[in-house]
């Protein structure tokens, strides 16, 4: 079993590469749920949905989130009823949220709900929410404290980030499928997702770090920061705002002690020695995934690198 940790769009790209190059039923993706929220009475899990749609070949290739070939009739009607529609939910996507909310209301766990979806979509990978307890990311900014989607989508992550709170994280426990996947892992890949608000919450679930230490498997990460910048989204500014260096080296410092190796882009090759000085192995390659071929190639290279780290 190969286990990947992922947030949304960036993580989903590498997860899809892994899914393509690995045999069926040998990939488990543990996904951030700290940016889940409630809207119109529905439970929305943006990162789980992004990973699920991407692996299922249903993702909108332009945005990276949402479903391909969407229509927006329900959203237009909700707007006529006076709802604010800054969080865009297409008609096909809406069905996911309706079913998830219905099943949760009937007493299913988020893990069970996700399993029903992946079965129905014919996915031959296991998707696991990082936990079943609700965790909510709150973002402190000079303009006030915002719920994550309000900060990210409504305000388009324009605010400086001064602090992050993961409300509910103390109650979050490892689920037995997450524990089992980590125990069976031959390698763990931390996808190029935001280290603070995508991977940070996963690692903060109680027992997660210990379970990662206990797997004898190599743990490698792919840097989401290339040339000092996030390829999309606010990860670079967020790192800087919270006192981290927005660079591959800064990412290495955050993950040091947890990972055996870091994959960085050629643009950051000069940071290799400094990262190795932290006790990490480094793979320098083209870490930017422009198309599906890039995703597969980076997945292959990352898996081969993990095998080297295991020695």
Q: Which of 15, 35, 52, 199 binds Ca ion (CB under 5 A)?
A: 35
Q: Which of 17, 19, 37, 47 binds Ca ion (CB under 5 A)?
A: 47
Q: CB of 137 within 8 A of CB of 35? A: yes
Nearer Cβ to ligand GDP (52/103): 52
Return d(Cα 239, Cα 247) in angstroms, integer: 9
- Beta-bridged to residue 3, according to DSSP, are 28, 188
Which of 180, 176, 184, 284 is closest to 227 using CA atoms?
Answer: 284
Nearer Cβ to ligand GDP (78/288): 288
Q: How far is the CB of 89 from ligand GDP (least distance, A)?
A: 16
Q: How far is the CB of 190 from ligand GDP (least distance, A)?
A: 11
Q: How far is the CB of 176 from ligand GDP (least distance, A)?
A: 25
What number of chain residues touch Ca ion (CB under 5 A)? Answer: 4
Nearer Cβ to ligand GDP (78/153): 153
Q: How far is the CB of 115 from ligand GDP (least distance, A)?
A: 21
Q: CB of 284 within 8 A of CB of 265? A: yes
CA 201 to each of CA 164, 176, 298: distance values in angstroms, whole numbers, following the listed order: 10, 18, 24
Q: How far is the CB of 194 from ligand GDP (least distance, A)?
A: 4
Give the interface with ligand GDP as residue ranges (CB under 6 A). 6-11, 13, 47, 192-194, 198, 222-224, 226, 230-233, 235, 287-289
> What backbone phi and psi angles, to 5 degrees, belong to 4?
-115, 145
- The CB-nearest residue to ligand GDP is 10
**What region, left, alpha or beta, does residue 118 occupy, with left being phi > 0 and alpha being psi -120 to 50 degrees?**
alpha
Nearer Cβ to ligand GDP (218/224): 224
Kindly indicate which of the ranges 33-41, 172-180, 233-241, 260-268 contains the residues binding Ca ion, using the contact rule CB under 5 A: 33-41
Q: How far is the CB of 13 from ligand GDP (least distance, A)?
A: 5
Nearer Cβ to ligand GDP (103/146): 146
Residue ranges with strand state E in 223-308: 225-226, 229-230, 261-265, 281-285
Return d(Cα 87, Cα 42) in angstroms, integer: 12
Q: How far is the CB of 68 from Ca ion (least distance, A)?
A: 19
Nearer Cβ to ligand GDP (175/223): 223
Q: CB of 93 within 8 A of CB of 66? A: yes
Binds 185, which of Ca ion, ligand GDP, none (CB < 5 to 8 A, cut-off by type)? Answer: none
Nearer Cβ to ligand GDP (9/128): 9
> Where do runs of H (alpha helix) occur along 9-155?
9-21, 46-55, 73-80, 91-105, 110-120, 148-149
Q: How many other CB atoms are found less than 10 A from the CB of residue 150?
A: 16
The residues of the shown chain that bind Ca ion, judged by CB under 5 A, are 7-8, 35, 47
């Amino acid at each position: 079993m190969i286990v990947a940790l992922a947030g949304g769009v960036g993580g989903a790209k590498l997860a899809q590469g892994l899914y393509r190059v690995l045999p069926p039923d040998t990939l488990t993706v543990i996904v951030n749920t700290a940016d889940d929220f409630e809207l119109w009475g529905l439970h929305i899990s943006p990162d789980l949905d992004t990973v699920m749609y991407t692996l299922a070949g249903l993702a909108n290739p332009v945005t990276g989130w949402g479903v391909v070939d969407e229509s927006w009739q329900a959203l237009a009607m909700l707007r006529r009823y006076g709802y604010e529609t800054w969080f865009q939910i297409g008609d096909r996507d809406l069905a996911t949220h309706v079913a998830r909310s219905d099943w949760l209301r009937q007493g299913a766990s988020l893990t069970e709900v996700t399993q029903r979806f992946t079965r129905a979509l014919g996915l031959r990978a296991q998707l696991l929410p990082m936990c079943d307890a609700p965790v909510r990311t709150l973002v402190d900014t000079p303009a006030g404290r915002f719920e994550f989607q309000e900060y990210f989508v409504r305000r388009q992550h324009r605010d400086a980030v001064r602090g992050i709170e993961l409300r509910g994280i103390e109650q979050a426990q490892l689920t037995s499928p997450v524990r089992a996947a980590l125990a069976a892992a031959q390698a763990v890949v931390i996808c190029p997702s935001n280290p603070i608000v995508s991977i940070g919450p996963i690692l903060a679930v109680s027992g997660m770090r210990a379970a990662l230490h206990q797997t004898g498997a190599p743990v490698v990460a792919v840097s989401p920061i290339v040339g000092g910048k996030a390829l999309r989204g606010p990860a670079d500014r967020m790192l800087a705002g919270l006192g981290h260096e927005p660079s591959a080296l800064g990412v290495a410092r955050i993950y040091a002690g947890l990972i055996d190796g870091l994959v960085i882009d050629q643009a950051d090759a000069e940071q290799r020695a400094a990262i190795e000085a932290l006790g990490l192995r480094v793979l320098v390659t083209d870490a930017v995934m422009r198309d599906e071929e890039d995703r597969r190639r980076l997945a292959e290279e990352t898996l081969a690198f993990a095998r080297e780290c295991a020695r």
